[in-house]
Structure 1
Amino acid sequence: MTSTSEETLAYLNSHAGALNERMGVVIVEATPERVVATMPVEGNTQPYGLLHGGASVVLAESLGSIGAALNAGPGRFAVGTDINATHHRSATQGLVTGVATPLHVGRTMASFEIVITDESGRRVCTSRLTCALLERDPNPQG
C-alpha cells in the first residue's frame, strides 16, 4: 500500500464538493486500497441528537467514490450506481471515521465496503457502494 502525500490530501479536501465541506468531512488517507475520512457528529444530527443516517451515507458514498476514482485509471471516472447502509448503533458526539476498502475492482465496475466507527472504535454503520467506471468523452458536447 502506498501512503498519501500532503499535496494529494490537500487537493482531495479542496475538491471534495460543497456537501462534504458543509458536513465537515476531512479526508486523511486516500490510496486505491484504502480511503479514510473523519466527520463530526455535531451539525450532522437528526432531531434526537443522534448522527443522521443520511450523514453516514454521505460519508460512505464520498469515500467509496474516491476509492473507485483512484482505481478507474487514466481517462476514466467513477459514477455511483448503488449504495446501501446498515446502521448498527448511534453516535451522539465527537468524530466518526469512515474507512473504504475495495471488495471488487474490475474494468467497468468497482464495489467498496465502508465501515464507519465512533471514537471508541465501535461500528456505527456498514455500507457498500458500487460504482460504474466510465470512459471520459474526448469530445464533449457543450
Structure 2
Amino acid sequence: MNKSPDFRNTLMEALGMKILPMQNGKYYASMPVDHRTVQIQGCLHGGASIALAETLAGYASSTLCSQEEFPVGISVTANHINTACAGTVIAEATPIKLGKRLHLWQVDILNDNKDILSTVRITNYLISHNS
C-alpha cells in the first residue's frame, strides 16, 4: 500500500503536504514554506513541522497495518534546531521499532540543503477497527 492518501478537505491539504515515494525503507513527505506554514516572523512554524512529521509517521504506520487496524498517535516529542523561511521542507521517517501494537518513528524535517530543521519522535498505537 504505497498509494498516496487522499488529502482533500484536510489539514494536510490546507498545508500543502504531499507524500513522496518510499526509498531504502524510509518514508518521505514534503511541505512548502509559505503563507500557510510560517509564523508571524515569516519562518517555518514549529507546529507545521510537527503536523508534517505526525502525518508522515501515521501514513507510514498505516502502510504496515492489516486491513483491520489503523494507527493513532499517542506521543510526539519534537526538537526544533533550525528554521527555513522559504522553499520546501522534506520529512524523512525512519522506523525505530515496529512492534505488534506500537510503532516508534524518527522523523527528521530537512530544508532544501538537507540541513535538519526539526527532529521528531512519534509513537503510534495500532487499534483494531473492532475495538
TM-score, with normalisation over the residues of structure 2?
Answer: 0.91
Structure 1 alignment gaps of length 5 or more = none
Matched, 1:51 2:60: no
Q: What is the distance in 1 between the residues matched to 2:112 and 2:93?
A: 17
Who is 1:100 aligned against? 93
Q: What is the distance in 1 between the residues matched to 2:46 and 2:118?
A: 8
Letter in 1 for 2:28: V
Figure out how many residues of one structure are paired with residues of the other and give that number.
129
Which one of 125, 135, 139 corresponds to residue 118 of structure 2? 125
RMSD between aligned residues: 1.9
Who is 1:26 aligned against? 18
**Is this contact kept in 1: 2:7–2:13, CA < 8 A?**
no
Who is 1:112 aligned against? 105
Structure 2 alignment gaps of length 5 or more = none
TM-score, with normalisation over the residues of structure 1?
Answer: 0.84
Report % sequence identity: 29
Structure whose CA Rg is larger? 1
TM-superposed deviation, 1:16: 6.8
Letter in 2 for 1:66: Y
Letter in 1 for 2:115: R
Q: What is the distance in 2 between the residues matched to 1:100 and 1:42?
A: 22
Q: Which runs of 4+ in 1 moved over 4 A?
A: none
Q: Deviations over 1:14-73 (max 9, x none)?
A: 247610000000111248x32211100112100111100000000000000111111222
Letter in 1 for 2:43: L
Matched, 1:71 2:87: no
Letter in 2 for 1:29: P
Structure 1 residues 63 and 53, CA, compared in 2 at 3 Å: closer, same or farther?
A: same
Q: What is the distance in 1 between the residues matched to 2:8 and 2:125?
A: 19
